Amino acid sequence: MGGETPIEGHLLVVWGVPEPKQDIAALRVKYPNLKITYKQASVAFSDPATIARLSEEDVSDDEWLSATHLATMSYLPPARLVPAFTKNVKFIQLTSAGVNHLAAHPIFTSTSIPITTTSGIHGPPISEWVALQILADSHLQRTMYKWQSERRWVRAAGDSTLGFRDSVGRRVGILGYGSIGRQSARVLTAMGMEVIAYTANPRTTPESKRDTGFIVPGTLGDREGTLPVAWHSGTDKASLHAFLGADLDYVLLALPLTGSTKQILGAEEFEILGRTGAYVLNIGRGESVDQDALIAALKKPLGEGGLRGAALDVATPEPLPESNELWGLENVVITPHVSAWNGRYLERTIGVLEENLERGARGEGLVNAVDRERGY
């Protein structure tokens, strides 16, 4: 804990939100020897050029160069300061689970400064979003809302007429079995679903299946990797297609954006999923999907190679233009990249930060450390 190992230095916090004063005050009490500077960034996220300009304007050179720890959403020191910044800083704590928005910055490409993410804190809200979309699909909530707006009380002859169904025995493929995929698996198996996992690397031993990342207290995730009834792996088309062909009712994309995950699902893959009329959920990155191919698959009739539907929390581009055809498809749910939002996001981010401050002071490995070669 904080009192066992002195935490010293200068923590620079640069977040694009008003200072969470209660949380920052608690950090100062817990770590009295750690100087903490809070700077409210003008924006949380933006294009690289804007972030580079604002990183110069919103934070002084002295603040950048005196920092021994940096907690940031998207701001990093200007490129001209990177050599000097590197001499002092021990690690950089992000508020995000992904790092693709920083991958071109010299901190990422030209230094070995440890970068850590908040992977793990997104699992609870996103898994609830996933369950919400599956339940809304299987219990025909869009139709129910329509009937309510029309003041219609409709009774019909059960499943054979309307298509109601429950989740017991349904098969969900989770493409990317990290913290979000694991917490989603925990929730969905409680509903009676069978989980089929897919990862780039084989997970054939108990140790390789274990989750060593951050888990929100009070949640279980799948620490030991025992929930999937099957576990596929590979980076080639044949392996991916074997996974997609495993009689899936739903497929959840919970992937970081890397060179190997860009448009990982395209026309070929949707053709395979169309054989079972699968439903696609994407909470990772919009670029993981060939959006035009997805639209084409969604427009095909069920039973003729079409998808049952899609729930998309991410899109390409973001914001999704009003003219995009996805908006008008009746079998599509779109939410504006908010599945992880909840009132405790920063509190949980600070929980990861505290763990890394204490691990760093003890000389231990940091939680959620980014592998630059893999890109996550």
Q: What percent of the chain has pLDDT over 90?
A: 91
Confidence band for 326, pLDDT divided at 50, 70 and 90: very high
Of the two residues 270 and 258, the one the predictor is more confident about is: 270
Burial class (CB in 10 A: 0-12, 13-18, 19+), 266: middle
Cβ(270)–Cβ(238) below 8 Å: no
Flag whether pLDDT at 280 surpasses 60.
yes
Question: Distances from the Cα of 286 to the Cαs of 51, 239, 261, 264, 281, in angstroms?
Answer: 21, 22, 11, 11, 11
Flag whether pLDDT at 3 surpasses 80.
no
Chain segment 152-185, per-residue pLDDT in tens = 998 765 545 678 999 999 999 999 999 999 999 9
Average pLDDT over residues 297-308: 97
CA dist 66 and 210 (Å) reads: 38
Please report where in the chains the tokens 């919009």 appear, as a residue.
286
> How far from chain centre, in Å, is Cα 351?
18
> Which CATH number among 3.90.1300.10, 3.40.50.280, 3.40.50.720, 3.30.70.270 corresponds to the domain 123-334?
3.40.50.720
Cβ(124)–Cβ(342) below 8 Å: yes
According to the model, what pLDDT value does residue 158 have?
53
Question: Distances from the Cα of 364 to the Cαs of 27, 324, 350, in angstroms?
Answer: 21, 48, 18
Cβ(179)–Cβ(214) below 8 Å: yes
> How far from chain centre, in Å, is Cα 368?
13
Cβ(34)–Cβ(10) below 8 Å: yes
Q: What percent of the chain has pLDDT over 70?
A: 97
Superfamily of chain region 9-121+343-362 = NAD(P)-binding Rossmann-like Domain (3.40.50.720)
According to the model, what pLDDT value does residue 347 have?
94
Flag whether pLDDT at 1 surpasses 70.
no
| Domains in the chain: boundaries | 9-121+343-362, 123-334
Q: Which residues of 181-213 are buried (b: 16+ CB within 10 A; e: fewer)?
A: bbbbbbbbbeeebbbbbbbeeebeeeeebebeb
According to the model, what pLDDT value does residue 156 have?
65
Confidence band for 337, pLDDT divided at 50, 70 and 90: very high
Of the two residues 161 and 218, the one the predictor is more confident about is: 218
Sheet holding 91-94: strands in order across? 34-40, 9-15, 69-72, 91-94, 115-116
- Show the tokens assigned to 298: 């969604």
Flag whether pLDDT at 4 surpasses 80.
no
CA dist 161 and 163 (Å) reads: 6
Of the two residues 65 and 156, the one the predictor is more confident about is: 65
Neighbours of 89 (CB within 10 A): 23
Flag whether pLDDT at 94 surpasses 50.
yes
Average pLDDT over residues 11-15: 98
Instruction: Examine domains 9-121+343-362 and 123-334 and report if their fold is the same.
Output: yes
Flag whether pLDDT at 136 surpasses 80.
yes
pTM for this one? 0.89
According to the model, what pLDDT value does residue 306 have?
98
According to the model, what pLDDT value does residue 284 have?
96
